[in-house]
């Protein structure tokens, strides 16, 4: 008797479970179903509310393209060409792979105004030092700074032997715009980077703030272009890994991307896709956002990009924080770049003048070594390691970011070996 009752109860339970599952799988009047809850929850362009209304949360896994289904590629989304290489003669898959993996030619861009020339030169020196592929430096700057920078860069051996070259562009905003208003928003000329896509005919660039340093091969960062899915047109890192005390979470008076915003100091830009998006209206969209939120933004171009990618989260690829490692990640003596399996900081970002003041000794020590590195002969990362060890030895032992000194120095040593191997191996 008890056995028969138990069988009847099991049968009823199975029927109820089957009915429940069927109900969840149906799209009921626009409600989020079990399968679509993660994408429905952030739908729309809401400008208020809590963190859940600000696009997709950072997810390393969500950024990885999959041959069958890409979780970061929503339905009915504008499909964009990878690059103008698609239309060039001989652009076979092998040719495409070589370009997007950084084995053919690298392009690094920066915007330089006022007193930023020494800082920009040091950043570009690090790009030259930590690259082996042909490299072009695209410099958007004032006329009076061109001679200053050229006098140093023409002495670099990699420039003299033509592996590295550089091109200047004027600081020029779209016709009809108040150039002074744009130029003076946040850092001088910083907003110029928003118009790089329509100023050049390049396929792609790595945009770098002047207060950044490569401490790993540029090719490795460029290789993230190959991981974009068909909707993504740019890549950046999160602004914060602290989803309680992050700046955008606490203070932003405008929409921003994801749970805590993005930091755009190191940005991969697929310029072809940007130019082709929204019917070629990129400039107009940036101008509209600028006009609408002019009195709400604090961080200039970065805030405008946060607003744009809040509206279009599917267009952004987010890579780990070691590619934009800032004092915020280590200033309290703990490495909180914890969302990735960080082996080393790969790009240092000395925001808030950290390369130049004594508030964060380790960042200043690294910058000073790169700035003083001799540029007339071949730039040698091995010399950087030796000088850096000596410089760090003089650093106050309680300095917070010393917590990552072994990772940074170890990363530079690994980068030297990687680069030597790339130079020795023939092109496949």
Question: For residues 302 and 245, is the Cβ–Cβ distance under 8 A?
Answer: no
Question: For residues 254 and 311, is the Cβ–Cβ distance under 8 A?
Answer: no
Residue-level pLDDT at 271: 97
User: What is the rounded distance in angstroms from the CA atom of residue 173 to the CA atom of residue 179?
Assistant: 6
Residue 231 has a CB neighbour count (10 Å cut-off) of 21
Residue-level pLDDT at 97: 80
Query: How crowded is the C-beta side of 2, counted as CA atoms within 13 Å?
Result: 0
Question: For residues 370 and 121, is the Cβ–Cβ distance under 8 A?
Answer: no
Residue 96 has a CB neighbour count (10 Å cut-off) of 17
| Residue found by looking up tokens 């729309």 in the block | 44
Quick one: residue 362, left, alpha or beta (phi over 0 = left, psi -120 to 50 = alpha)?
alpha
Closest CA to 191 of 317, 318, 303, 324: 303
Quick one: residue 7, left, alpha or beta (phi over 0 = left, psi -120 to 50 = alpha)?
alpha
Question: For residues 344 and 414, is the Cβ–Cβ distance under 8 A?
Answer: yes
**What residues contact 18, with CB distance under 8 A and at least 6 apart?**
none
Question: For residues 361 and 388, is the Cβ–Cβ distance under 8 A?
Answer: no
The tokens for 426 are 């023939």
Closest CA to 209 of 402, 313, 355: 355
The tokens for 322 are 């070691």
Residue-level pLDDT at 94: 58
| Residue found by looking up tokens 């950087």 in the block | 384
Closest CA to 348 of 372, 366, 360: 366
Residue-level pLDDT at 87: 43
Q: What distances in angstroms separate CA 243 from CA 40, 92, 219, 261, 279, one per listed residue?
A: 21, 44, 31, 10, 35
Residue-level pLDDT at 168: 98
DSSP per residue over 74-130, as a string? -TTPPP--S-GGGGSTT--HHHHHHHHTTSS-EEEEEEE-GGGHHHHHHHHHHHHHT
Please, what's the b/e burial string for 73-88 (b: 16 or more CB within 10 A of its CB; e: otherwise)?
Answer: beeeeeebebbebeee
Closest CA to 225 of 238, 242, 207: 207
pTM for this predicted structure: 0.78
Question: For residues 332 and 323, is the Cβ–Cβ distance under 8 A?
Answer: no
> Averaged in consecutive runs of 10 residues, what is the pLDDT profile of the chain (428 residues)?
47 43 36 30 34 34 33 45 50 66 90 96 94 95 96 92 96 94 90 96 96 94 95 96 91 96 98 96 97 96 98 97 92 75 83 89 90 70 81 72 84 78 60
Question: For residues 171 and 195, is the Cβ–Cβ distance under 8 A?
Answer: no
User: What is the rounded distance in angstroms from the CA atom of residue 191 to the CA atom of residue 198?
Assistant: 13
The values of phi and psi at residue 412, to 5°, are -65, -40
As a three-state string, the secondary structure of 320-382 is CHHHHECHHHCCCCCCCCCCCCCCCCCEEECCCCCCCCCCCHHHHHHHHHHHHCCCCCCCCHH
Residue-level pLDDT at 416: 78
């Amino acid at each position: 008797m008890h056995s028969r009752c138990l069988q009847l109860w099991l049968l009823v339970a199975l029927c109820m479970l089957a009915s429940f599952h069927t109900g969840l799988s149906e799209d009921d009047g626009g409600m989020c179903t079990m399968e679509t809850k993660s994408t429905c929850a952030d739908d729309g362009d809401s400008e208020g509310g809590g963190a859940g209304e600000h696009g997709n949360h950072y997810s390393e896994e969500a950024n990885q393209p999959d041959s069958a289904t890409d979780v970061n590629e929503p339905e009915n989304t504008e499909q964009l060409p990878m690059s103008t290489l698609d239309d060039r003669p001989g652009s076979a898959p092998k040719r495409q792979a070589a370009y997007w993996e950084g084995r053919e030619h690298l392009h690094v861009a920066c915007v330089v105004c006022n007193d930023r020339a020494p800082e920009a030169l040091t950043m570009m020196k690090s790009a030259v030092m930590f690259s082996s592929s042909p490299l072009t430096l695209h410099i958007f700057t004032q006329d009076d700074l061109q001679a200053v920078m050229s006098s140093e860069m023409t002495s670099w051996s990699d420039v003299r032997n033509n592996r590295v070259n550089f091109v200047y562009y004027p600081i020029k905003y779209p016709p009809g715009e108040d150039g002074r208003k744009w130029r003076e928003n946040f850092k001088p000329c910083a907003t110029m980077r928003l118009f790089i896509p329509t100023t050049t005919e390049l396929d792609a660039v790595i945009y770098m703030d002047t207060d950044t340093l490569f401490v790993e091969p540029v090719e490795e960062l460029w290789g993230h272009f190959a991981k974009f899915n068909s909707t993504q047109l740019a890549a950046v890192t999160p602004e914060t890994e602290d989803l309680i005390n992050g700046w955008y979470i606490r203070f932003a008076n405008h929409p921003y991307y994801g749970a805590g915003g993005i930091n755009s100091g190191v940005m991969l830009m697929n310029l072809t896709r940007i130019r082709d998006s929204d019917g070629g209206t990129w400039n107009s969209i940036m101008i509209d956002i600028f006009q609408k939120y002019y009195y709400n933004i604090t961080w200039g171009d970065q805030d405008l990009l946060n607003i744009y990618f809040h509206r279009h989260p599917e267009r952004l690829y987010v890579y780990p924080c070691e590619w934009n490692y800032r004092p915020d990640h280590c200033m309290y003596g703990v490495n909180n770049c914890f969302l990735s399996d960080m082996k080393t900081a790969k790009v240092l970002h000395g925001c808030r003048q950290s390369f130049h003041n004594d508030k964060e000794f380790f960042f200043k020590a690294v910058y000073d070594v790169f700035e003083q590195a001799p540029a007339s002969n071949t730039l040698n990362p091995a010399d950087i390691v030796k000088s850096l060890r000596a410089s760090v030895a003089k650093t106050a032992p309680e300095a917070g970011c010393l917590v990552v000194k072994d990772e940074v120095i170890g990363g530079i040593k690994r980068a030297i070996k990687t680069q030597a191997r790339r130079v020795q191996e023939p092109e496949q």
